[in-house]
Amino acid sequence: MELDKQFSRIVHSLKNDFKNFSALFIGKKKLASLVYKDDDLSPLNTAIEIFFPEVILEDIDRDLIIRQFLSLGKYRDDICKYLKKETLGLHKVWSYSESINALFWKNLLVKKGRKFVWRDELTKQIGQEVFECEEI
């Protein structure tokens, strides 16, 4: 973690010292954490976000979705509450809800417009089955 912070400080310095400096970082959860986790104090808080269109998978691997949910067992109570909702709040690359972040970075939630939503009804159904939540 300290190495990540040192790296981000170096990039931040380069941006300040050299007006024409640009860098392209492609990443997911770890990069989002580095940019947003410390809010305004993040060394990369001036990064420009570019999102690529989401790839829609035709054939969803049910076993993969089950494994993703099982890996999030510590968020069971939150997930059961979320399964009752269509939207789960405003989309941000870094949500301050740990369980929303976990679902998003496991590709169980997606961005639709400006909101977090479930990937699809099958994903919600599998979540219901895995955690044996009360009926939705």
Q: What is the pLDDT along the chain (136 residues), one digit of tens a residue?
A: 677 777 777 877 887 788 787 777 776 667 777 666 665 556 566 666 665 555 555 566 888 899 999 999 999 999 999 999 988 888 776 677 889 989 988 889 888 888 889 988 989 999 999 999 875 4
* Reported pTM: 0.66
Is residue 52 domain-resident?
no
Is residue 113 domain-resident?
yes
Per-residue pLDDT at 52: 56
- 3-state SS of the chain is CHHHHHHHHHHHHHHHHCCCCCCCCCCCHHHHHHHHCCHHHCCCCCCCCCCCCCCCCCCCCHHHHHHHHHCCHHHHHHHHHHCCCCEEEECCCCCCCHHHHHHHHCCCEEEECCEEEECCHHHHHHHHHHHCCCCC
Instruction: Residue 112: give its domain's CATH number.
Output: 1.10.10
Is residue 46 domain-resident?
no
Q: Which domain holds residue 11?
A: 2-41
